[in-house]
Chain A
């Protein structure tokens, strides 16, 4: 049998979270169920293992395999695709707490296996869903420190205010200069990848400048950062996508969902081409999802929230290991 890094020691058998934190976590799960139940949103469960996977350039899906045999399938990186199939089947509003897996993500705020809270609201747009995300966070905060007043900034405003450049027009050179001014020196050929430069500026300049006590939504992303959000035509066109920042961390990502099957298929194909160009794995695109969207995905907004990170904020933890019973490397 192969050996795994997580199985090397037996002296660290104890949980990395305190029992007190695990009690808080359990209360937060109860409150989560109560929140959605009171609002008439249906709790669902979908499969973790799938024949298809996310094509996103920056997500690494893990493969489940029979020992010495053929792969069984891909472990999901979020429950988005099957949940959209439910929506297309007439489920109405749905929510799920899902254990998801992302390869290569390990650090102070990342564990390769983590808990994602994902929900969809039929007929809603991004603004309405931001209101509900904020209400949800406040309903859980009763178990800890109450966050300050909410704040909403467009992606453009956030960069102009905190990084000093316009993310829709700045060239890679200008972004790299702003990064250098903020003490972020980059190695390699990052300058040729404008989107990666923006991602780095968001994570290292904008995010640390936001008030950690205030739930802050950044919305209207560049079209190149649309992922599965619909794009609103305009000058410039923007992706109807938002992220929530709290406690100095990004804790949720939401979309006014794309409902155009042809556009969705084209984005999958573009993702796969970009993956091929970089020599990354090319998981099969989810054709059942495409069929569901073609059948008719109702107009909806959806959001995925990193539940572990919300527990971190409410527990005052600085490392994700403090809110997980057994993080990777201890299991």
Chain B
């Protein structure tokens, strides 16, 4: 496994810390007048998503984490695992509920998403920022009501429930921001 020196620290670098893969968000060089130099970094633990600050002695070396973001097509869910495929190579990966997490609300068969692999195993599944999904269940639309700003729940083909404006009908396709889970627009 390769090592990085603190001299090579920069945002985006993936390192192994206490056995977990992490990504460096910010790196600051700190040196008191004549003493030891340090690198203070903000890092995100890619397993837990938690952001922490950590201080390294400069010139210390840190193990790199073999982490790769790969675009994959979501194939199907077998009741236990979500299956993904790398287009081109047809290489397949299975991810469990812990890895897929909240992304499951936005995964539609045949759609693309980003799968982060660590040592070749899925670590994280990130849906695109915006997805288009069909409404399978909601109260009948209120015609002409585009101004009052009222909302109602709507169930999507993935099983997720989102808030939509009152005029939206069952069977319509809507655009959703997966980062907030908010309705964006109707898709004609």
Interface-located stretch among B26-34, B94-102, B112-120: B26-34
Q: How far is the CB of A44 from chain B (nearest CB, A)?
A: 23
Is B54 within 8 A of A250, CB to CB?
Answer: no
* CA distance in complex: A63, B56 (Å): 26
Q: Mark A198-209, 1 if CB is under 8 A from B, else 0.
A: 111011100100
* CA distance in complex: A110, B57 (Å): 16
- Nearest residue, chain A, Cβ from B58: A104
Is A105 within 8 A of B29, CB to CB?
Answer: yes
Is B29 within 8 A of A107, CB to CB?
Answer: yes
Is A204 within 8 A of B31, CB to CB?
Answer: no
* CA distance in complex: A227, B33 (Å): 11
B29 contact from A106, A193, A195, Cβ within 8 A: A106
Q: How far is the CB of B50 from chain A (nearest CB, A)?
A: 12
Q: Mark A180-202, 1 if CB is under 8 A from B, else 0.
A: 00011111101001011011101
B55 contact from A107, A110, A187, A225, Cβ within 8 A: A187
Q: Mark B1-45, 1 if CB is under 8 A from A, else 0.
A: 000000100000000010000000000111111111110100000
- For chain A, give the interface size range: 20 to 34
- Nearest residue, chain A, Cβ from B7: A104
Query: Is B121's beta carbon under 8 Å from chain A?
Result: no
Query: Is A243's beta carbon under 8 Å from chain B?
Result: yes
Is B58 within 8 A of A225, CB to CB?
Answer: no
- Nearest residue, chain B, Cβ from A198: B35
Q: How far is the CB of B37 from chain A (nearest CB, A)?
A: 6
Is A184 within 8 A of B53, CB to CB?
Answer: yes
Contacts A187-B56, A190-B57; A199 near B36 (Cβ below 8 A): yes
Query: Is A257's beta carbon under 8 Å from chain B?
Result: no
Contacts A105-B37, A200-B36, A203-B38; A184 near B28 (Cβ below 8 A): no
Is A227 within 8 A of B34, CB to CB?
Answer: yes
Is B33 within 8 A of A253, CB to CB?
Answer: yes
Query: Is B52's beta carbon under 8 Å from chain A?
Result: yes
Q: How far is the CB of A105 from chain B (nearest CB, A)?
A: 6
Is B32 within 8 A of A250, CB to CB?
Answer: yes
Is A203 within 8 A of B53, CB to CB?
Answer: no
Q: How far is the CB of A255 from chain B (nearest CB, A)?
A: 10
Q: Which A positions have Cβ atoms within 8 angstroms of B?
A: 56, 58-59, 104-108, 110, 183-188, 190, 193, 195-196, 198-200, 202-204, 207, 225, 227, 243, 250, 253
Given contacts A183-B53, A185-B54, A196-B35, 20 further A-B contacts (CB under 8 A): A104-B59, A108-B29, A185-B52, A186-B55, A187-B55, A187-B56, A187-B60, A188-B57, A188-B60, A190-B57, A195-B35, A195-B36, A199-B38, A200-B32, A200-B36, A202-B35, A203-B31, A203-B38, A225-B35, A250-B33
Q: Which B positions have Cβ atoms within 8 angstroms of A?
A: 7, 17, 28-38, 40, 52-60, 62
Q: What are 21 sample pairs from A and B whose C-beta atoms fall under 8 A apart?
A: A58-B37, A105-B31, A184-B40, A184-B55, A185-B53, A185-B54, A187-B17, A187-B60, A187-B62, A190-B57, A193-B36, A193-B57, A195-B35, A196-B36, A203-B30, A203-B31, A203-B38, A225-B34, A243-B33, A250-B32, A250-B33
